[in-house]
Amino acid sequence: MKSPVTQPASPTVRTRIAPSPTGDPHIGNMYVALVNWAFARQSGGQFVVRIEDTDRTRFVEGAEAMFLRSLDWLGLDHDEGPDTGGPCGPYRQSERLPLYREHVDRLIAGGHAYRCFCTPERLKAVRQKATGEMTGYDRQCRTLPPEESARRAAAGEPHTVRLAVPLEGQTQFEDGLRGAITIEHKSVDDQVLLKSDGYPTYHLGVVVDDHLMGVTHVIRAEEWIVSTPKHVLLYQAFGWDVPRYYHMPLIRNPDRSKLSKRKNPTNVMWYRQQGFLPEAVVNYLGMLGHSMPDQREVFTREEFMREFSWQRVTTTGPVFDMEKFEWLNGEWIRRLPVETLTARLKSEGFWPAGLPEDKAQAIVGLMRERMRRLTEFSDAVAFFAARLPYEAALLVPDKKGKPIMTATETRTALSRLKEAYAAFAPEPDAEASGDSLSSQWQAAALEASGRALADELGWKPGEFFTPLRVAITCRRVSTPLFETMEILGREECLARMDEAIEKAKTLA
Ligand code: GLU
């Protein structure tokens, strides 16, 4: 084990995210990570990742790697961590056990902590009997003579180490978002600091590590506020400076309960699999409980980093709004250059097999305007890759399920359209000009010709184009018809119309 180094000399801002590897990377954790990252970067400081893996019963293999991948996906780069190393390592608490032991010994020697030899059975009985303000441990071992305590420990008797919370008075700390918070010592339990397996509890680990890692600003979720007085007591017992605290509001479900996977997906990787862009995830998280100075809703990670201000953080829990999140994702999809979007669709596995490469950019360009998630792409453009099966009846336009063309009218519509489009020149010709342009295979000309025909035959264009849309895209709902026809090309479109005409022959 690498020997841990003492505090870094530099007094610059140092923030950290300290995930416990107990499951999937939680979106709420990414939210807190984003704020830590932004604040460190805007202050020219450092952002550290520390893995709090001391609860061995809840440890999940692979959770750490997944967390780091999520940070990476969102572009929240860290300066120090279990993967990058750094001057304050190791960055996994399970690799720092001797340190906690050493620090706890210092607390015992100074009378700030004591060994507790109570058995789990006794503790359970105490808890059941507890009344009044003190609902925790009854402090029986607090009065053991130090020599007896040391002798029993030396003899190998199992024990924990507890914080000796002052019996009187109160502890106060400043929360950067909420002001002064005061807690009566009477209401604080003699918290376990070191468990009988030699692992620290969260309270000891977090204080020792935040201090040794030089963390200047502890930015974490609101749910940790109740733990902070215990941490402050520990800082005081060690004689260390207390860091600044900021407790971020908890993200809530629409019914204001704490964001939970029963109501909303909370695994950040789920959003990736569902075709959310990292730009949109960062942007959305940056909107939760924080507003930009000009109230702008669409912003980049860097803009958020520059503009982030504690003054504009609210302490009321922001509500997670999936509708808004998807809207924002659509905004970000539209903002990506076509080449970038194409590359993303491919690298994220949303590219359907067989999509013609030479038409890729044009197809992406069409879809870019109408997607909210990347997952929509593949289904919506599948017809470009191959002719998809459909029933002849789909060719017949209807209103509320009632056909508005007869079989004969549908066949006439299709063959007249085919005839009109067969008269078009093969491909658009950049050199051409004047009259000849109108008969070139381009969306505007294709549409004009279709409309003229609808007029001649006395149909509303919307109704008239249904057989054509189905012939070309094999679906009733599709990308804009004439732009689609332009991309698909004359030969393929005529062939599809022929196929539709054949199919329509089977209509009764
Ligand atoms: N390990 C804690 C967690 O899982 C860290 C809390 C803190 O930031 O102090 O969130």
Q: What is the pLDDT of residue 263?
A: 80
For range 11-19, the mean pLDDT: 94
pLDDT in tens, 210-239: 999 999 999 999 999 999 999 999 999 999
Question: What one-letter code names the amino acid at 208?
Answer: V
- Does the beta carbon of 32 lie inside 6 Å of ligand 1? no
- Does the beta carbon of 206 lie inside 6 Å of ligand 1? yes
CB 270 within 8 A of CB 335: no
90/129 Cα distance (integer angstroms): 42
Q: What is the pLDDT of residue 2?
A: 43
289/248 Cα distance (integer angstroms): 8
For range 81-95, the mean pLDDT: 98
CA 328, 331, 336 angle in degrees (round to 5)?
130
46/44 Cα distance (integer angstroms): 7
**Atom 8 of ligand 1: nearest residue by CA position:** 220
Secondary structure of residue 247 in the 3-state scheme: strand
Q: How confident is the model at residue 127 (pLDDT cuts 50, 70, 90)?
A: confident
91/79 Cα distance (integer angstroms): 12
> Buried (b) or exposed (e) across 181-213, using 16+ Cβ within 10 A?
bebeeeebebbbbbbeeebbbbbbbbbbbbbbb
- Residue 261 falls in the annotated catalytic set: yes
The Å distance, Cα 65 to ligand 1 centre, comes to 17
pLDDT in tens, 279-300: 999 999 999 999 999 999 999 9
DSSP H or E segment with residue 481: helix 481-488
- Does the beta carbon of 240 lie inside 6 Å of ligand 1? no
Domain 392-504 architecture: Orthogonal Bundle (1.10)
- Judge whether residue 7 has pLDDT over 70: no
Q: Which atom of ligand 1 is nearest to the CA of 52?
A: 1
Q: Which atom of ligand 1 is nearest to the CA of 219?
A: 8
For range 45-67, the mean pLDDT: 96
The Å distance, Cα 469 to ligand 1 centre, comes to 55
Superfamily grouping for domain 97-248 = Glutamyl-tRNA Synthetase; Domain 3 (3.90.800.10)
Q: Which atom of ligand 1 is nearest to the CA of 16?
A: 8
Among 32, 36, 91, 206, name the best residue to mutate to test ligand 1's pocket (greatest count of ligand atoms within 8 A of Cβ). 206
103/109 Cα distance (integer angstroms): 10
What does DSSP assign to residue 390?
Answer: -
Task: Provide the token pair at 187.
Answer: 């209401």
Task: Provide the token pair at 82.
Answer: 């279990």
CB 395 within 8 A of CB 504: yes
Residue whose token pair is 């094999």: 474
Q: What is the pLDDT of residue 8?
A: 54
Q: How confident is the model at residue 3 (pLDDT cuts 50, 70, 90)?
A: very low
- Does the beta carbon of 36 lie inside 6 Å of ligand 1? no
- Does the beta carbon of 19 lie inside 6 Å of ligand 1? yes
Q: How confident is the model at residue 439 (pLDDT cuts 50, 70, 90)?
A: confident
Q: What is the mean pLDDT of the chain?
A: 94
- Does the beta carbon of 201 lie inside 6 Å of ligand 1? no
For range 89-102, the mean pLDDT: 97
Chain-centroid distance, C-alpha 307: 21
Nearest Cα neighbor of 278 from 41, 73, 10, 445 is 73
**Atom 3 of ligand 1: nearest residue by CA position:** 19
Integer angstrom CA distances of residue 349 from 197, 316, 381, 408: 45, 38, 14, 44
Q: What is the pLDDT of residue 432?
A: 53
CB 200 within 8 A of CB 100: yes
For range 62-88, the mean pLDDT: 98
DSSP 3-64: PPP---S--S-EEEE----SSSPBHHHHHHHHHHHHHHHHTT-EEEE-B----TTS--TTHH
- Judge whether residue 116 has pLDDT over 70: yes
Q: How confident is the model at residue 1 (pLDDT cuts 50, 70, 90)?
A: very low
- Does the beta carbon of 278 lie inside 6 Å of ligand 1? no
pLDDT in tens, 332-363: 999 999 999 999 999 999 999 999 999 999 99
**Atom 5 of ligand 1: nearest residue by CA position:** 18
CB 354 within 8 A of CB 378: no
- Does the beta carbon of 247 lie inside 6 Å of ligand 1? no
**Atom 10 of ligand 1: nearest residue by CA position:** 19
pLDDT in tens, 455-481: 999 999 999 999 999 999 999 999 999
CB 218 within 8 A of CB 210: yes
Q: Which atom of ligand 1 is nearest to the CA of 227?
A: 9
Strands 113-116 and 46-49: unpaired
- Judge whether residue 154 has pLDDT over 70: yes
pTM: 0.91
For range 390-408, the mean pLDDT: 95
- Does the beta carbon of 18 lie inside 6 Å of ligand 1? yes
Q: What is the pLDDT of residue 19?
A: 98
- Judge whether residue 53 has pLDDT over 90: yes
Among 15, 17, 20, name the best residue to mutate to test ligand 1's pocket (greatest count of ligand atoms within 8 A of Cβ). 20
Indicate which residue of 261, 324, 346, 460 is catalytic: 261
For range 407-433, the mean pLDDT: 85
The Å distance, Cα 282 to ligand 1 centre, comes to 20
Instruction: Give the dihedral sign, CA 387/390/394/400.
Output: negative
The Å distance, Cα 18 to ligand 1 centre, comes to 5
